[in-house]
Amino acid sequence: MCGLCGFTGKIAQQAEVLQRMTDVITHRGPDSSGFYSDDSISMGFRRLSIIDLDTGHQPIFNEDKSLVLMFNGEIYNYKALREELLAAGHRFETQSDSEVLIHGFEEWGEKLLMRLRGMFGFAVYNTKDGSLFLARDFFGIKPMHYAVVEGELVYGSEIKSILEYPKYQKKFNAKALDHYLSFQYAVPPETFFEGIYCLLPGHYLWFREGKVKTTRYFEPTFAPDETLTEAQAVDNIEKAFEDSVEAHKISDVEVGCFLSSGVDSSYVATYFADQKTFTVGFDFGEKYNEISWAQNLSKEIGVRHYTHLIGSEEFWAAVPKVQYQMDQPLADPSCIALYFVSKLASEHVKVVLSGEGADELFGGYTVYNEPHVFRMYQKILPEKMRYALARSAKKWPHVKGRGFVLRGARKTEDKFIGNAFMYDDEEKRLLLQDPSIVTRPQDLCRKYYDRVKGYDEETKMQYLDINLWMVGDILLKADRMSMANSLELRVPFLDKKVFEVARTIPTRLRIAHGTTKYAMRQAALRHLPKATAEKKKLGFPVPTRVWLKDPVYYETVKKMFTSETAQKFFHTDVIVSYLDDHFNGKEDNSRKVWTIYVFLLWYQIYFADDDKVLRPD
């Protein structure tokens, strides 16, 4: 795992600028650095050595040095590709997966991407024609950002690098704030920095003669095979996943595993006998502490288990550090917990495997049960009557059944924007100083729903989450929090061969008997205790709702909510009322409060000073 950055064209103090851009992402690769420059480009690199420790340094060149590569990620089928390229006449100087990429690109061009099995973000510069090629992996496991500044391309694994480029004028993107308030993250390809974009998953980019052209080379579509029996589906999942885990364990350094009480990471951990697993929790009861579950499983499967109990003060002190590392505000409090488990793991290993992606691919989120729950209600009650009843329910007190009536009235496309829905357009108009930026979050989702009109409701929800939630939240925090601790995180569920199986599983086997991720759980059951394989999903529970009722943390947030920064963006009386109602037990506003608090904290770090980023200690 590494980090890369660079820019085309020439500027004053070119070497010093490139050095700053590279230094600011040292955490992504503390082992070594690499640089390439000519009259047309400057490329920087930081390396975390995982494969071919002695000779796999970058930049990497082809035989005649007409192509220059810098690469972040891992290619798990690199040995097979290397044999194919050797047979085609290519000559290798290292044993690294990086060199396979440069020769593969020389041999196959853009078609190389569909041959790869792995996670990647890489840049290839052609010294002969001056073109630059950027690519990002199928699901967006590894990041890539870019901006066009005065006709030149600036790029980086993290936005921090681009901010060091002196010709880029840092400017806040209000469109991203509108999206963030609804989704809890900046929705790609937009970022909170005007003019800086996220290269979308499954896309590549060409920069030629001052122009950017992006192309999608992979789309994660579903093709359910209705002839599959349960036994066949479970067999296929088990075989593909076992193969994926073995591929993801390829390394020249020790590999460990994150472990929660859930089925996803537990299933991964069953392949780690005699190795190390890592868990963190909070001292607020079993709901917020999965350590005992993980310890019991660790004993049963024979792994060495390491734990850390996160204290309240420790958590709150880390929030500014985490938001700095994230580059953009992320209102998912589990990213702070992920920071701590990454820190713990980095003290023992250099690589970990984790369970991200299982829910999106195999249908694991509880909300995916909703279409089944509402199907009969929507069949019996005509749409107009459902909407009339829902309008009335808005005025009801928060009694049992109110939520059912409200959610049951609307179609999936009108209510589901992903696993997080913070503020709707009406709420945003009430709290924002500038309501002109407000849009309906459903409108942003429409283009994704339009691509899957023929799918059932459950599959539509999965498709949306794969393209938005997984990219903007799940994989963003996984990359940034592990890399903040110089730790490589690998995700065997998000493997091309695993997805080839997942896309064929019919909905009746993804969600069955009120159980999400049903077929995958049955595969895991062959390796895990029944209680673990069938355990309901918790996510990564963080006690923010408890803390926000504590006078100490209530005052911390209130101070931020009445600050000059808050007044710049929000009607402070409105946001304070959200906080007060939560503190007084009138309403659980913890997620809405946390969303605004995190944004304000992030803004003070990145925009309080126009000239620099105020990096927390």
Give the catalytic positions in this structure. 2
d(CA 242, CA 119) in angstroms, rounded, equals 18
Tokens of 186: 């900046």
d(CA 319, CA 434) in angstroms, rounded, equals 27
Question: Quick count: other Cβ atoms within 10 Å of Cβ 589?
Answer: 20
Tokens of 415: 């209510």
End-to-end CA distance of the chain: 24
Per the DSSP assignment, residues forming a β-bridge with 123 are 70, 134
d(CA 295, CA 584) in angstroms, rounded, equals 37
Q: Is the peptide bond between 220 and the residue preceding it cis, with omega within 30 degrees of 0? A: no
**215: helix, coil or strand?**
strand
d(CA 427, CA 578) in angstroms, rounded, equals 11
Contact yes or no for 258/279 (Cβ under 8 A): yes
DSSP 539-583: -S---HHHHTTSHHHHHHHHHHHTSHHHHHHB-HHHHHHHHHHHH
**512: helix, coil or strand?**
strand
d(CA 246, CA 294) in angstroms, rounded, equals 22
d(CA 8, CA 43) in angstroms, rounded, equals 9
Written as one letter, the residue type at 158 is E
Phi, psi of 278 (to 5 degrees): -140, 135
Distances (CA, A) of 459 to 126, 235, 364, 367, 470: 41, 22, 12, 12, 15
Nearest to 303 by CA among 338, 339, 279, 337: 279
Per-residue three-class SS string for 230-262? HHHHHHHHHHHHHHHHHHHCCCCCCEEEECCCC
Tokens of 114: 């569909």
**In this structure, what DSSP letter does residue 570 have?**
B
Nearest to 546 by CA among 578, 595, 583, 599: 583
